[in-house]
Amino acid sequence: MGTSTVSHRSGSVAQTEQIAADFAAELRGGEVVALSGDLGAGKTQFVRGMVAGLGGPIRRVCSPTFMLLNIYQGGRLSVFHLDAYRVAGPDDFEAIGFAELLEQGGVVAVEWGERVRALLPSLRIDVTLTPVDENQRVIQIVRPA
């Protein structure tokens, strides 16, 4: 099974959020989106754009670094927003019911997805945000074909 890769260039937070909103329009539910990128690359802004694209509560979107999980409901699909930055191992994800989240029919977005790659389904969407300079980002979206 192959993959499909699309790259975007963003010059602002608003543009990153719009790219993510457009991406979210294609989501049907049940997807896992693994977000990768350095600190400050725009992972949370991408999730905010996804929530906006799904008609959810964008004002509530924030990095779940200390909470581990934020849930945004009220849009076309619920978004389960996880942050693996401080995850010590699989037990942390099991403690929040990660397996059950995958069965909810929403979208599971995992920041720092590369840290828990072994726990994520192989049929996931990988989003990598790479800063080019202070404002510019390259956003690469790789999905199963």
Hey, what CATH class is 3-144 in? alpha beta
Residues 6+ apart with CB under 8 A from 21: 49, 50, 52, 53
Six token digits for residue 36: 């990768």
Summarize pLDDT for 92-138 with one digit per residue, the tens: 878 888 889 999 999 999 999 998 888 899 899 999 999 999 889 99
Tell me the Ramachandran region of residue 29: left when phi exceeds 0, alpha when psi lies from -120 to 50, beta otherwise.
Answer: left
Q: Report the amino acid identity of residue 65.
A: T
Distances (CA, A) of 131 to 19, 43, 119, 135: 15, 11, 26, 8
pTM, whole model, 2 decimals? 0.93
Domain coordinates in residue numbering, the chain: 3-144
Summarize pLDDT for 54-63 with one digit per residue, the tens: 999 988 898 8
